[in-house]
Amino acid sequence: MFPAIQEAITRRRMLWITPFAFAALAAIWPRRGNQAAASDGVEVTIVKFSDQGANLETAIVKKVVHSDSEWRKLLTSEQYYVTRHAATDTAFTGTYYQIHETGLFRCICCANALFSSEAKFDSGTGWPSFRAPIAEENVRKHSDISFGMERIEVLCKRCDAHLGHVFDDGPPPTNLRYCINESSLRFIRRSS
């Protein structure tokens, strides 16, 4: 009889705890899908660059906003999950971490200029790594406390795409390492 009472108490406890567990999970779950409506019509200041890397002008532009279903149509599955849901590429699976050509790295979602190959370095991590963005105005940083760690997330300022994270273990002069997902980038080779 004792196991039956214990089982009934356990069931009651689970019925009582379950709604609170779901509420807590909903409170901490990333809400990237709801940002589209809140960002519609918002303007941001970025620095525009030519594909050759020339600084063109500082401009006020509208944020690029799409619904979740539109992003799914515009991006590959990997690009979608990395940029819109803050997933991470598997290390050493791409090609950009090995690129040593001169060029510009643009956002895969909105073509905003993000990084120059001149700031790229081999970090040995298997992800493209940069000392600094091409312009601080083109990215934004956000505190990320997911997975029990405190990190600084890097996002595209124009479309809020998740790019990666920035760490303070990079080379001089910045001592920063922008560890960026290849799925969030499009490389434009500089023509000679």
179 is catalytic: yes
In order of 46, 54, 110, the CA distances from 58 in angstroms are 6, 12, 17
DSSP helix/strand/coil, 65: coil
- Residues recorded for the chain: 192
Gap between the Cα atoms of 163 and 112, Å rounded? 12
Are 29 and 14 in contact by the 8 Å Cβ rule? The answer is: no
Gap between the Cα atoms of 52 and 66, Å rounded? 28
In order of 12, 24, 146, 168, 177, the CA distances from 143 in angstroms are 38, 20, 9, 14, 16
Are 69 and 34 in contact by the 8 Å Cβ rule? The answer is: no
The one catalytic residue among 109, 110, 159, 179: 179
Q: What angle do CA 6, 12, 16 make, to 5 degrees?
A: 145
Element containing residue 48 per DSSP (H, E): strand 43-49
Kindly list the catalytic residues. 179
